[in-house]
Chain A
């Protein structure tokens, strides 16, 4: 079977589907691991039961989520070899190392300590049990760091040389791969976005319960924690997005010109709010622009020249020979906008919520609320009416998934914006695909993955909804009396385990 498609097209679709899907779970896992660890720390330090109930509640959602993150990650480890064997042969010397580091350092950490945490409630003393969830959190961060270093090398290859005889890239400076500015900025941006995602998740679910006046003490704490996470995560996402953008203007001017649908270089260059154009002709028909802003985003001043798609294409043709070096402009343009739009919408909701639920600052004393009351949403001097209050809670619930959309588009933008390169300036995507894997095989695997992932998504979301609605669990005696010895205290040899599958 041979479809009239470029050999890499199907493999790219499969990589896109499986990776975007995997990354729905990754940011939530990263942020929830740290947030749950924070809540459990609060429990261990203060012994307030609401923190333990919050730990158990968010911990359950975290586990439902991480299970999917882990299993969909397995595919990623092997997909390079399966579908991109020429890529693997060409870059394995460089690209393989961060993956091996990720597995040997981060995956072992995550998977071993998550087992200890899940089953350890009645097997480990309180503080050791707490340390386990922190280890998981560190594992998730390390894992993200190494894989982002690998991806950054594809965006901006450094620390390598070409071995002509072997026809491959070889690593010369691993430290540089781990610490180049692309890596640091991508890590900063992805970590911030992960916490933006987790914050929005927490705020949405807390709002859901507070709107119904249920589980108030736990949800009140969660709301506050979620709002702070959302606001701080959002702020850092914006800052890191700006610095990452400036790095990209230097390293991949084409990606950023496409992000703005800036066909011809301008000085000063405007930021495009809306554009509709003719890709073949290379110009926009309709354009709504803010003068000078793009120059500022690229170079921190309002006057600088920013090269356009057409200029950059010519420059790249001069450097790399004839060809078309344009990515799909509408995808880059809209992907960039959806990333920013959805992400910043959540951020704004967080800032607004932080102000509305302030505890003391400029808040009339009459509207301060106690631990077991739903906080008033106070705009200026008076609480919002019940309709507006409900509207805010609903907005929080309905925008819970906004950061997930933003994350997905961020990756689609950055990966598709790099095309036609798989390793920028070094290897083209069309040269990277496995030559011996047939289209029929790729169609098979892509269909199976898509179908399976769709089914699992339904199962996962239903489980999440079930456990969200159930609310924080009641605490049992064994929850409140953790063991003092490693392996569990011996009182009753037949006592049921605190947790079992």
Chain B
């Protein structure tokens, strides 16, 4: 296994980390409309992810920075090619971050309601668009001989990619729902468990179609295994949820996300962005990667820093392990 293969795996790990973690906080954002019945419940939801959403989001920044360093051509092609969808995602992330921080800083009802609306939409839109983006990456896009994206915005909004968007949206919402059941007390916890079943069934159907489609178009043996794991763990997550095993339900919905991302990257390898115009114009781990020296430095960084990050982020979840309910939310203004 050469270093650029190692880095393909590491980039996959970073995206997996991002979707696993920000996946549930996007989901919780969506639930502010889907599950919460009143303002107090909205605040319970927001506060389940309050201490952690920012750290979750850094997985994306790290995936971006690491792609820049390890696969500059991939970074350049992807982000210039997906210009407008990425712009939409960035705008959402900007507004979303400010919304969490500023919502409770004024007592006016209008002020808070506006930020709550913002939290819902800025969670929903990226949850959908990341699926669209990855759908396109796996399926391949129109790249020319210079690895420049020469398609249009319309080309990116093809049925396969849009289905991918619905899969991530429903999967993240499910992940957020089982997370809510795990992190709250009171009535909202019960309703979260009920909702998880509905969202989970929708996610399961969409994911099954998407994974089959992917498998038929470009899959192989290993990706089939990953798809199988994804679907099986999703079903198991719903079973655990019905049985009231909230920790297991969350773990298993996490496994679903991990397996689905693994499936996409397995299908992709050794390409990082296939060209639909000419296979010779595809970006691969070889022609997109950095020099061995840079990859070596990056590998040292990853080996030393990533376990540390996992350790202190894990510790954060342990510090904030208590469940919260409406009784724990103090007067809205500080």
Residues in A lying within 8 Å of B, measured CB to CB: 63-64, 67-68, 70-72, 74-75, 77-78, 80-83, 85-86, 88-89, 91-97, 99-105, 107-108, 111-116, 118-120, 123-124, 163, 168, 170-172, 174, 434-437, 441, 444-445, 448, 452, 456, 459, 463, 466-467, 473, 486-488, 494-501
Contact = CB atoms under 8 A, between A and B. Distances in A.
B274 to A, nearest CB: 17
Nearest to A97: B69
A63 B101 contact: yes
A112 B93 CA distance: 17
B198 interface: no
18 contacts: A71-B93, A71-B95, A78-B86, A78-B90, A82-B80, A85-B77, A96-B65, A101-B301, A108-B58, A108-B62, A108-B313, A170-B293, A434-B80, A441-B83, A494-B328, A495-B328, A496-B330, A497-B47
Give the interface centre of B47, B70, B105, B150 by most chain A CB atoms within 10 Å. B105
A171 B291 contact: yes
A488 B97 CA distance: 26
A19 to B, nearest CB: 14
Contacts of B55: 108, 111-112, 115
Give the interface centre of B50, B106, B291 by most chain A CB atoms within 10 Å. B291
Contact of B57 (A111, A435, A487, A496): A111
B220 to A, nearest CB: 30
A495 B330 CA distance: 9
Contact of B69 (A92, A111, A445, A466): A92
B243 interface: no
Contact of B316 (A72, A100, A116): A116
B98 A68 contact: yes
A376 to B, nearest CB: 35
Contacts of A88: 68, 72, 75-76
B216 interface: no
B104 A97 contact: no
Interface in B148-178: 148-150
A436 B69 contact: no
B104 A501 contact: yes
B297 A67 contact: no
Interface in B60-112: 61-62, 64-66, 68-73, 75-81, 83-84, 86-87, 90-91, 93-95, 97-98, 100-106
Contacts of B297: 97, 171, 174
A445 B84 CA distance: 8
Nearest to A72: B94
A500 B150 CA distance: 47
Interface stretch (B188-196, B228-236, B257-265, B302-310): B302-310
Given A459-B102, A463-B102, A496 B329 contact: yes
B301 A486 contact: no
Contacts of B75: 80-81, 88, 92, 96
B334 A81 contact: no
Interface string B293-334: 110011001100110010011001011111010011110001
Contact of A71 (B81, B98, B321): B98
Given A75-B90, A487-B319, A100 B65 contact: yes
A467 B313 CA distance: 31
Contacts of A91: 72
A74 B294 contact: no
Contacts of B52: 115
Interface of B: 43, 46-47, 50-55, 57-58, 61-62, 64-66, 68-73, 75-81, 83-84, 86-87, 90-91, 93-95, 97-98, 100-106, 146, 148-150, 290-291, 293-294, 297-298, 301-302, 305-306, 309, 312-313, 316, 318-322, 324, 327-330, 334
A120 B328 contact: no
Contacts of A171: 290-291, 293-294, 297
A497 B329 contact: yes
A482 to B, nearest CB: 14
A487 B62 contact: no
B73 A89 contact: yes
B95 to A, nearest CB: 7
A112 to B, nearest CB: 4
A180 to B, nearest CB: 16
A93 B65 CA distance: 12
A53 B298 CA distance: 43
A103 B80 contact: no
Contacts of A77: 61, 64-65
A496 B327 contact: yes
Given A93-B291, A500-B328, A501-B43, A115 B101 contact: no
Contacts of A101: 301
B88 to A, nearest CB: 9
A499 B185 CA distance: 18
Contact of B293 (A108, A172, A496): A172
A125 B165 CA distance: 43
Given A92-B72, A170-B291, A501-B104, A436 B64 contact: no
B302 to A, nearest CB: 7
A400 B66 CA distance: 38
B134 to A, nearest CB: 16
A171 B72 CA distance: 13
Nearest to A73: B61
B100 A501 contact: yes
A463 to B, nearest CB: 6
A113 B312 CA distance: 9
Given A111-B54, A441-B84, A500-B47, A104 B320 contact: no
Nearest to A442: B83
A119 B50 contact: yes
A104 B305 contact: yes
Given A82-B80, A99-B68, A119-B51, A124 B319 contact: yes
B95 A104 contact: no
B61 A112 contact: no
Contacts of B321: 487
Contact of A444 (B65, B84, B320): B84
Given A92-B71, A100-B66, A112-B313, 16 more contacts: A68-B98, A74-B57, A77-B64, A81-B64, A88-B72, A93-B294, A96-B65, A96-B75, A96-B290, A96-B294, A101-B301, A104-B305, A115-B53, A115-B316, A487-B318, A500-B43
A466 B61 CA distance: 32
A456 B98 contact: yes
Contacts of B78: 81
A67 B146 CA distance: 39
A96 B106 contact: no
A92 B334 CA distance: 45
Contacts of B330: 496-498, 500
A39 to B, nearest CB: 18
A79 to B, nearest CB: 8
Nearest to B323: A493
Contacts of B329: 496-497, 500
Contacts of B98: 67-68, 71, 456, 459
Given A82-B86, A437-B80, A96 B69 contact: yes
